Amino acid sequence: MPLPITRLRVAVPVPLPRLFDYLNTPENQPSQALGCRVRVPFGPRELTGIVVATDPAGSAADSTLKPISRWLDPDPVLAGELLDSLHWLSRYTHAPPGEVISAALPSALRQDQPLPDTRAWGWQLTPAGQAGVASLRAGGRPRRLAELLAPRATSEEALDQQLEDWRSAARDLGKRGLAERVALAAAPIPVAAAGPVPNAEQAAAVAAIQAATGFQPFLLDGVTGSGKTEVYLQAISACLAAGRQALVLVPEIGLTPQTLARFRQRLGVPVHTLHSGMADGARARSWLAAARGQARVILGTRSAVFTPLPEAGLIIVDEEHDASYKQQDGFRYHARDFALVRAKALDVPVVLGSATPALETLNNAAAGRYVHLRLRKRAAAAAPPRVRIMDMRKRRLHDGLSEEALQGIASHVAAGGQVLVFKNRRGYAPALLCHDCGWTAPCQRCDSPLTVHAGGRRLQCHHCGARQAAPLACPQCAGLALQPQGIGTERLEERLQSHFPEVPVVRIDRGTTSRRDALEQALAELGQQPGILIGTQILAKGHDLPQLTLVVVVGIDEGLFSADFRASEKLAQQLIQVAGRAGRAQRPGEVWLQTHHPAHPLLQTLVNGGYHAFAASEMEQRQAAGFPPFAHLALLRAEAQQQEQANDFLTAVRALLPAGTAVECYGPMPAPMPRRAGYQRSQLLLSSTQRAPLHRLLDSLVPGIHALPAARRVRWSLDVDPIDL
Ligand code: ADP
Ligand code: ZN
Ligand code: ZN
């Protein structure tokens, strides 16, 4: 007979770097206390926390502890591996443990609500219903439903597909005692569609993944269209056949209905999704279905890395280089990196797939930490796209497009193809400039010009969201020579519509597709007919556009000369990804890169040698400069109303550094955008060639930072392994 639990250590979702102890309230205490949700008093509020230890050593005297308000559930929501991995993540990122653990829970479970039902529900006929089918009016909806249900119980999901408005008919049958709603033992399994026969490289990759017993990272390094998704699907099928669960992470813009449909058709089991576009309740149900072992395949974006996997067999991270895997505010974690930690703890293989692997990942593969699998050829397309660098110097430009580009677009469209004009800049123009005096419309709250929208009538800040009408006259010289400066997608749209009035021109960026399905709808409307797409990176992945034969990339030059040490890598990845959209089916594709710097080494290496040649030369430069992956970084950011407050804080932190540390410290220095949304921003960079000394330093430093009086006058955050500096 175990002793009754008297004290509980609880992770409470507050921004403090510690856990909190409470007295137990044994009423409704579940048999397994660890990982259960409890309501606890916290100051004047009541919060939902997670029990992370029982009767811990070294807690305060009982007389000073408050009792929990109550237990919420009969079973734990976070247990075993996931709870342990989250503890690790909290230590690694130095984020408050309560915030880390609460970030792992779907938001509906952070509230004071009972756990939702995750069983699959269906309908079946009662014995009276079986006997009475023939007595129902022929042709009526209740009769049609009864006929559907006569052979077997049918899931609500399946009924949705088979009979319109079946719910009212079901209610009707239910009221007459002819049918009833039942929880189905297992979700029905549609028949899996067969995929293409894998080619030799795909087969070798699948075999290698299947042969892994226990933890093993793989880099699946395959050119765009080489059939990486096919490899995932076959590896997942094998994992399912072995009775295990599979987790697949995709970038935010990669989780399209097209992708989901492909997984559903091919796997023959329900595929549960987790992404930010879902309602809270639906997310909680997917998450819990995974925790209960009901969900076998989970397809999700960044935060899906927190899915419980009691029967894990495989983790896949598609487009592993994608920046959307890094959470950029609040609790900063990297989903790809955490996926590796979880795979290790779960002792399962993990596959990182990309056509343009991150330099960190290539470095890990080169060091032998990952098995490097290559897919060198496109699987279905005739040939890789032909890439041309277009010299724009001294050319006449029509809103950013050369004469030659316009002719190329015309001839591809005339041949029945589709053209993508890629410009990673939404809005009409990046700035509004006075041609008389040089004034540029600034954001009042950010160190950034306002972007011109609505053909020049509206100004908007892409950093803080501020909006205003465009001035009619220059506020500095009162002149009337205000002009939109530079090119955005709206301006390209205007130009291409007037140049090609007879052809559909579809602009796709975050301005036109705020709703998730708007993009699908726009693409569906265009269909297979000849036309022109104008898009930002939202179009650079996830969509198969079989008619696309020409990609024109407009304005890449800003990326060639950025101060950010990752800018070259990002640009190279973006160019390869967008180029990979062209010629994915049988029609050969072409990619034209417009630039004023045709001899730039990045472009030359990329076009002549491909991504790996680029990566090799970039890797040398990183090594010479002492940047990641040859250094490990942590960035301390601070923002305040006054610059001095932020700097005073960071200077005080710097003074806490022990003498003789091997970790280098740079700053305080202004952030890349020193003022944003009205705040002055500074930062302090810590860098170390080895990971361990950096983390030892942070372990001793962070409690001291929390204790600094100057910390109360700023908003600060620590970013371990930052991806933008
Ligand atoms: P990736 O994920 O690398 O971009 P996909 O898996 O989407 O590539 O494959 C690209 C296209 O090639 C898809 O239309 C896919 O159906 C097709 N494909 C993949 N593997 C094969 C194969 N072995 N034989 C024929 N077609 C294939
Ligand atoms: Zn002026
Ligand atoms: Zn702003």
- Residue 589's nearest CA partner among 599, 598, 581 is 581
* CATH T-level fold of 386-428+486-621: Rossmann fold (3.40.50)
Neighbours of 478 (CB within 10 A): 10
Q: How far is CA 471 from CA 436, 440, 452, 494, in A?
A: 15, 11, 11, 21
Reduced to 3 states, what is the DSSP secondary structure of residue 674?
strand
Q: Which tops the pLDDT comparison, 686 or 589?
A: 686
Q: Which long-range contacts (CB under 8 A, 24 or more apart) does 719-723 make?
A: 719/332, 719/634, 719/635, 719/636, 719/637, 720/92, 720/93, 720/94, 720/332, 720/634, 721/334, 721/337, 721/628, 721/632, 721/633, 721/634, 722/332, 722/633, 722/634, 722/635, 723/323, 723/326, 723/334, 723/566
Lowest-confidence region among 2-6, 279-283, 496-500: 2-6
Nearest to 144 by CA among 121, 172, 118, 185: 172
**Closest ligand to the CA of 441:** 2
Ligand nearest to the CA of 319: 1
pLDDT of residue 187 exceeding 60: no
pLDDT value, residue 111: 87
Contact 436, 481 (CB under 8 A): yes
Tell whether omega for the bond before 151 is within 30 degrees of 0, i.e. cis. Answer: no
Please give the distance, rounded to the nearest whole angstrom, from the Cα atom of residue 720 to the centre of ligand 1. Answer: 36
CA distance 313 to 298: 12
Give the number of the ligand closest to the Cα of residue 432.
2
Cα dihedral 252, 254, 258, 264, rounded to 10, equals -80
497 phi, psi to nearest 5 deg: -65, -40
In 626-690, where does DSSP find H-type helix?
643-656
Closest CA to 280 of 160, 38, 110, 156: 110
Q: Rounded distance, CA 53 to CA 119, Å?
A: 30
* CA 716 / ligand 3 centre spacing (Å): 20
- Is the pLDDT confidence value at 150 over 90? no
Instruction: Locate the ligand 1 atom nearest the alpha carbon of residue 202 and give its number.
Output: 23
Q: Which amino acid is at 341?
A: V
Closest ligand (CA of 444): 3
pLDDT in tens, 485-498: 999 999 999 999 99
Of 201, 221, 230, 299, which is best to mutate to test ligand 1, by the most ligand atoms within 8 angstroms of its C-beta?
230
Query: In 3D, which of 132, 51, 65 has the Cα closest to residue 97?
Result: 51
Question: Environment class of residue 164 by beta-carbon count within 10 Å: exposed (0-12), middle (13-18) or buried (19+)?
Answer: exposed
Torsion region of 529: left, alpha or beta (phi above 0 gives left; psi -120 to 50 gives alpha): beta
Question: What residues sit around ligand 3, an ion, with C-beta below 5 angstroms?
Answer: 443, 445-446, 461, 463-464, 466
Nearest CA to 610 out of 273, 269, 355 is that of 355
Task: Give the Cβ contact number of residue 133 at 10 Å.
Answer: 16
Token pair listed for 369: 């930490």
Angle, vertex CA 305, rays to CA 376 and CA 373, nearest 5: 20
36 annotated ligand binder: no
Question: Which residues form the pocket of ligand 1, taking CB atoms under 6 Å from any ligand atom?
Answer: 196-199, 202, 222, 224-230, 379-380
The CA 485 to ligand 2 mean position distance, Å, reads 14
Q: How far is the CA of 540 from the centre of ligand 3 (A)?
A: 27
Q: Which of ligand 1's atoms lies nearest the C-alpha of 197?
A: 23
The confidence score (pLDDT) of residue 190 equals 58
Which residue's CA lies nearest to atom 23 of ligand 1?
A: 198
Whole-number pLDDT of residue 166: 87
Q: How far is the CA of 478 from the centre of ligand 2 (A)?
A: 6
* Alpha-carbon span 429 to 660, nearest angstrom: 50
Residues 214-252: tens digit of each pLDDT? 999 999 999 988 999 999 999 999 999 999 999 999 998
Per-residue pLDDT tens digits for 110-144: 988 888 887 777 888 988 888 888 888 888 899 99
- pLDDT at 53 > cutoff 70: yes
Residues whose CB is less than 8 angstroms from the CB of residue 160 and which lie 6 or more positions away in sequence, other chains included: 166
Taking only the tens place, the pLDDT of each residue in 569-586 is 999 999 998 888 887 777
Among candidates 700, 699, 698, which has minimal Cα distance to 685?
698
What's the CA gap between 363 and 341, in Å, rounded?
18
* CATH tag, 6-109: 3.40.1440.60
Distance 479 CA to ligand 2 centre (A): 5
Residue 669 pLDDT greater than 80, yes or no:
yes
How would CATH label the architecture of 200-375?
A: 3-Layer(aba) Sandwich (3.40)
Distance separating alpha carbons of residues 104 and 98, to the nearest angstrom: 10
Q: Whose CA is nearest to atom 26 of ligand 1?
A: 380
Name the region of 58 (left: φ>0; alpha: ψ -120 to 50; beta: rest): left
Residues in contact with 255: Cβ distance below 8 Å, sequence separation at least 6, in sequence order: 273, 275, 299, 300, 301, 542
239 is in an annotated binding site: no
Topology, domain 632-720: Alpha-Beta Plaits (3.30.70)
pLDDT at res. 540: 66
Domain residue ranges in the chain: 6-109, 121-183, 200-375, 386-428+486-621, 632-720
Beta strands in 77-215 (DSSP E): 121-125, 154-155, 179-183
Question: What is the residue with the minimal CA distance to atom 5 of ligand 1?
Answer: 227
pLDDT at 201 over 80: yes
> Residue 389 C-alpha to ligand 1 middle, in angstroms?
28
446 is in an annotated binding site: yes
* pLDDT > 60? residue 188: no
- List the alpha helices (DSSP H) in 242-334: 257-267, 280-291
- Token digits for 55? 């009767």
Residue 363 has pLDDT above 60, yes or no: yes
- Ligand 3 centroid, distance to 450 Cα (angstroms): 7
Task: Give me the pLDDT at residue 511, please.
Answer: 62
The answer to whether the 6-109 and 632-720 domains have the same CATH topology is no
Alpha-carbon gap, residue 197 to 230, rounded angstroms: 10
Site to probe by mutation for ligand 1, drawn from 219, 220, 224, 229 as the one with most ligand atoms within 8 Å of Cβ, is: 229
Confidence of residue 173 (pLDDT cuts 50, 70, 90): very high
The H-assigned helical ranges of 212-250 are 228-241
Q: What share of the chain in percent tops pLDDT 70? A: 96
Buried b (16+ CB within 10 A) or exposed e, 488-514: bbbbbbebbeebbeebbbbbbbebbbe
Strand order in the sheet with 179-183: 154-155, 121-125, 179-183
**314, 315, 309: which is closest to 290 by C-alpha?**
309
